[in-house]
């Protein structure tokens, strides 16, 4: 199981930000070649990304490439496939199954040319339009290289434009597409569906509230745009000590019941059967994945 509680967007041409990465407890970084980089800076951002990725501790270097319609994606892929330090690619604006199939073929061609195993470069797809959301399950299951998805529902972003909806912090206007994307991700058997950004970095309470909602919906991490959002995301998406203790007892109680020839029992007065045992084990697996990340980064969050 792979978990990313926080993936920090980093404009790839900003040397000051690139130099701070070792001090940041993010589970991963997204070096952005797309929306935060003006066209004249694309080449420079690409080269700076290639320079910094091998220096990042752990398997944490993701790159958001430019979309298919921009004319820059081919250059991005040519530079990045097989590059030292690359964890994988964030592919934006996946509006249809045809889009993701095109990207997959472009990547496979470059992998073959460079002697790499086809499919060895992972991708995370971004859901940023009405069409992408409606086709999301087909998109997410179209290639084994797709590891998970990001719901791109940030304030005044592409999803807002596509829907014509108004973004508000409580979020009812966008809730259908946010949940639909999550359901598709779970139907695709993704362990760690990722929520999108919360754009107002001066509203930490709003960020915490939105992230708590995100966790309740079923998201297991999110993209963030400022270092001051990382710790809150890590803490909120980490199961609490009480949850870990309770679900450990659930797993143990269910295993003990099986030794007695029965498949149900109770813990703290609550029914425990196979379904509850699976829920408990998934949470404990989630915790183990977080501990693996913290062992790599050296940053331990609050449980």
pLDDT in tens, 280-301: 999 999 999 999 989 888 888 7
20 and 105 co-located in one domain? yes
Q: Is 205 annotated as a binding residue?
A: no
Residue 81 belongs to domain with CATH number: 3.20.20.60
40 and 160 co-located in one domain? yes
231 and 250 co-located in one domain? no
Is pTM beyond 0.85? Reply is yes
By three-state DSSP, how is residue 9 classified?
A: strand
| Backbone φ, ψ for residue 90 (5° rounding) | -95, 120
pLDDT in tens, 10-51: 999 999 999 999 899 999 999 999 999 999 999 999 999 999
**DSSP secondary structure string, 240-267?**
PHHHHHHHHHHHHHHHHHHHTT-S-EEE
Least confident of 164-173, 235-244, 273-282, 286-295: 164-173
CA atoms of 273 and 250, how far apart (whole Å):
9
263 and 129 co-located in one domain? no
50 and 172 co-located in one domain? yes
pLDDT value of position 302: 67
Q: Is 245 annotated as a binding residue?
A: no
The answer to whether the CB of 301 falls within 8 A of the CB of 294 is yes
Q: How many domains does the chain have?
A: 2
Least confident of 4-18, 127-141, 157-171, 224-238: 157-171
113 and 251 co-located in one domain? no
Q: Which residue has the higher pLDDT, 225 or 295?
A: 225
Q: Which of 236, 251, 271 is the last residue of a domain?
A: 236
174 and 49 co-located in one domain? yes
CA atoms of 286 and 237, how far apart (whole Å):
10
141 and 185 co-located in one domain? yes
Supply the range of the domain harboring residue 281. 241-297
pLDDT in tens, 149-160: 999 999 999 999
Indicate the burial class of 106 (C-beta count within 10 angstroms; 0-12, 13-18, 19 or more). middle
Largest CA-CA distance found in the chain, in angstroms, rounded: 69
Q: Is 64 annotated as a binding residue?
A: yes
189 and 65 co-located in one domain? yes
10 and 141 co-located in one domain? yes
124 and 250 co-located in one domain? no
Given a cut of 70, whether residue 190 has pLDDT beyond it is yes
Q: Is residue 302 part of a domain?
A: no
pLDDT value of position 276: 96
CA distances from 301 to 23, 98, 193, 241 (A): 14, 40, 20, 12
Q: Which of 236, 256, 278 is the last residue of a domain?
A: 236
- Per-residue pLDDT, averaged over 215-222, amounts to 97
């Amino acid at each position: 199981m792979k978990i990313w509680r926080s993936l920090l967007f980093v404009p790839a041409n900003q040397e000051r930000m690139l130099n701070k990465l070792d001090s940041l407890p993010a589970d991963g970084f997204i070096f952005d070649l797309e929306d935060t980089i003006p066209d004249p800076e694309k080449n420079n951002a690409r080269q700076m990304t290639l320079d910094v990725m091998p220096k990042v501790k752990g398997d944490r270097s993701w790159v958001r490439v430019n979309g298919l319609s921009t004319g820059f994606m081919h250059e991005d892929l040519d530079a990045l496939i097989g590059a030292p330090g690359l964890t994988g690619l964030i592919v934006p604006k996946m509006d249809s199954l045809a889009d993701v199939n095109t990207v997959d073929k472009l990547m496979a061609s470059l992998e073959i040319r460079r002697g790499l195993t086809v499919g060895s470069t992972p991708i995370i797809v971004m859901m940023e339009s009405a069409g992408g959301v409606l086709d999301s399950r087909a998109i997410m299951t179209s290639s084994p290289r797709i590891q998970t998805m990001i719901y791109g529902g940030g304030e005044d972003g592409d999803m807002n434009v596509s829907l014509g909806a108004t973004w508000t912090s409580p979020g009812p206007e966008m809730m259908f597409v946010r949940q639909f994307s999550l359901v598709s991700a779970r139907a695709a058997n993704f362990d760690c569906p990722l929520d999108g950004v919360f754009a107002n970095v001066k509203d930490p309470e709003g960020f915490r509230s939105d992230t708590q909602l995100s966790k309740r919906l079923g998201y297991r991490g999110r993209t963030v745009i400022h270092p001051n959002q990382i710790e809150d995301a890590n803490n909120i998406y980490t199961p609490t000590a009480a949850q870990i203790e309770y679900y450990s007892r659930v797993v143990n109680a269910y295993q003990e019941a099986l030794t007695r020839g029965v498949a149900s029992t109770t813990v703290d007065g609550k029914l425990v059967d196979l379904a509850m045992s699976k829920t408990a084990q998934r949470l404990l697996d989630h915790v183990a994945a977080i501990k693996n990340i913290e062992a790599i980064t050296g940053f331990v969050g609050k449980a």
